[in-house]
Structure 1
Amino acid sequence: MSQALAADGVRVRAPGKLNLFFEVGGVQDDGYHDVASAYQAVSLYEDVWASPSDEFTIAVSGTVDVSGVPADDRNLAVRAARLVAQRVGHTGGVHLDIVKHVPVAGGMGGGSADAAAALVACDALWGAELGTAELHKLAARLGADVPFALMGGTAVGTGRGDELSPALAKGRFDWVVVPSQAGLSTPEVYAHLDQLRARPDIVAGARVPAVDPGVLQALRAADPVALAEHARNDLQVAALSLRPELRDVLELGEESGALAGMVSGSGPTLAFLTGDPESALELQITLSAAGYEALHVHGPVAGARVIN
């Protein structure tokens, strides 16, 4: 995008994600964990508008509760904007208007999507034309989920989750997601998993995490039934231990036709895989009638991109 086209502002849309598979290795000396994840970008989006400003400022609104989202330099999107400015030598600032639709602290990567959108928006606004590879380098400095929000589609993530390889996913996968009013802290969930794994009845983390080949085969075959058989999230045991009331929702979803139900990422959002759009709609109606907020989404969808 040229400087002239971007003069009045740039709008970028970035997707939330689901972890179709998430294996967590043992805790390392630095307190972090290696992981192996199969990510899928889904049709629940964050919208970011970047407009010229002398300072770095931000406004946050949305259809979800944004009361806990920082509107200062603690926000990952502001950090992303500053990274681009530093990289290209931009001496001014930018104003970011963020409209959130992905649950906050819900395990669907909404904050990471904001950061990815801010990277793309500032690159376009300032006519930097950094290119995909350079933007991914900046994304990796911001957090493990930011590179995937930039990339979109379906991918395998290893290392800290930011070493990405595209995964072939044919067809469409339909999900019903159930957000929670209260979020869960990702570091708290990991720490609780480490505590649980110290017990003899909990399986220890894999030495070198790897995505189950059955997951990749199911994605290639566009087979939701096979995907349901292999889907897994190692963080689920910790999330359910911290929020045991989520078990009731999982059981209701699975009893009401879901092929599989699981905690999304570090939770507490729950994701239910269904066989087709019609089944997803039926499940959405059932869960809504039981008093839960239920959203029908599908994947894979594209990563962060400019909206004209």
Structure 2
Amino acid sequence: MISYPCAKINLGLNIIGERSNGYHDLETVFYPIYSLHDTLEIKYMGEDFPSDTDCDLKITGNVIECNEQDNLVVKAYNLLASDFELPRVHAHLYKKIPSQAGLGGGSSDAAYMIKLLDERFRLNIGYAEMERYAAKLGADCAFFITSELSYATGLGDIISPVDGPKGNLNGYYIVIIKPDISISTKEAYQSIVPQKPLKCCKDIIRQPIETWKEALHNDFEIPIFKAHEELAAIKQTLYDLGAIYAQMSGSGSAIFGIFRIVPNGLEEQFPNTFIFSSKL
């Protein structure tokens, strides 16, 4: 059985408070990018197969620098196996979504693994319960259970429906640029002073997209752009190429731009860089 864990972008991201345990409360809108996705397949693993683990994971495509048994796909399997009687499985994950990008690739893989296991082995968990399981694996994992346009609060784990901007973005194109830069989310949070925005992102995205540039912000951009000026330069270049709106996704380092038409010369503007473009 195969599924296609999709990427996401954040439309606005505001850090509005800090908890006593050091974690932060935020507000953001998650927008799924279905055309940018990984591929995840699971199969039964026979009892005679020589594996020390119940979930044997193989990763191809983009390189992930971690032990495969530490991957969120395996953690998702182990989480469900603690409550359900699951057979041993082979899992094959083909990575296309770049890591450390703010695009949610690992979180998406985990959530889609939960959905695959639920469907393949008829666990009948239900979406609400799957979201609760997913939230245990990462703050934005719950969003990927439905992978539908959502407003997220709390740590990013409290998901609710939101109207728009689907009508606003129909017919537009997205360009995603991911340079070879790794961002320390911990350091980014340490540089932020939480503050409630003048207007919530879920209300701003209902406005015409032409108003977003002045109103829709990602609070991580200020400290991260200060530490990595090349990211600010990428955002400005996207505007120079005609983007109606551009923003860093999550804590980066991917920068996306929304265009009426895909600009020419992206490879020349961003050499040796991951570039993705698609119609929204």
Query: Same-fold call, TM > 0.5?
Result: yes
Report if the CA contact (8 A) 1:36-1:209 is conserved: no
SS of the equivalent of 1:128 reads coil
Report if the CA contact (8 A) 2:178-2:255 is conserved: yes
Match of 1:226 among 191, 207, 211: 211
Residues 1:108 and 1:235: Cα distance change in structure 2 (over 3 Å): same
Range moving further from structure 2, 121-130 or 205-214: 205-214
| Greater RCO, 1 or 2 (C-alpha within 8 Å, sep 6+) | 1
Q: Give the length in aligned residue pairs.
A: 266
Partner residue in 2 for 1:35: 26
Residues 1:210 and 1:148: Cα distance change in structure 2 (over 3 Å): farther
Question: Root-mean-square deviation (CA), in Å?
Answer: 2.1
Residues 1:127 and 1:154: Cα distance change in structure 2 (over 3 Å): same
Give me the whole-angstrom Cα distance separating, in 2, the residues matched to 1:28 and 1:140: 18
Match of 1:68 among 65, 68, 78: 65
Partner residue in 1 for 2:144: 149
Partner residue in 2 for 1:116: 111
Match of 1:286 among 240, 265, 270: 265
SS of the equivalent of 2:38 reads strand
Give me the whole-angstrom Cα distance separating, in 2, the residues matched to 1:146 and 1:244: 30
Report if the CA contact (8 A) 2:209-2:245 is conserved: no
Residues 1:69 and 1:298: Cα distance change in structure 2 (over 3 Å): farther
Match of 2:204 among 207, 215, 225: 215
Report if the CA contact (8 A) 2:24-2:155 is conserved: yes
Report if the CA contact (8 A) 1:287-1:293 is conserved: no
Report if the CA contact (8 A) 1:112-1:145 is conserved: yes
Deviations along 1:107-132, one digit per CA (max 9) or x if unpaired, are 00000011011101111222212111
Fraction of identical pairs, as percent: 25
Q: State how 1:1-308 maps to structure 2 within 5 Å.
A: 10-42=1-33, 43-53=35-45, 55-62=54-61, 64=62, 66-72=63-69, 74-90=70-86, 92-169=87-164, 170-171=166-167, 172=170, 173-191=172-190, 193-194=191-192, 204-206=193-195, 211-212=200-201, 214-218=203-207, 223-274=208-259, 276=260, 279=261, 281-282=262-263, 285-290=264-269, 291=271, 292-299=273-280
Report if the CA contact (8 A) 1:77-1:118 is conserved: yes
Shift of 1:214: 4.0
SS of the equivalent of 2:100 reads coil
Structure 1 stretches lacking a partner, 5+ long: 1-9, 195-203, 300-308
Range moving further from structure 2, 259-268 or 243-252: 243-252
Report if the CA contact (8 A) 2:8-2:31 is conserved: yes
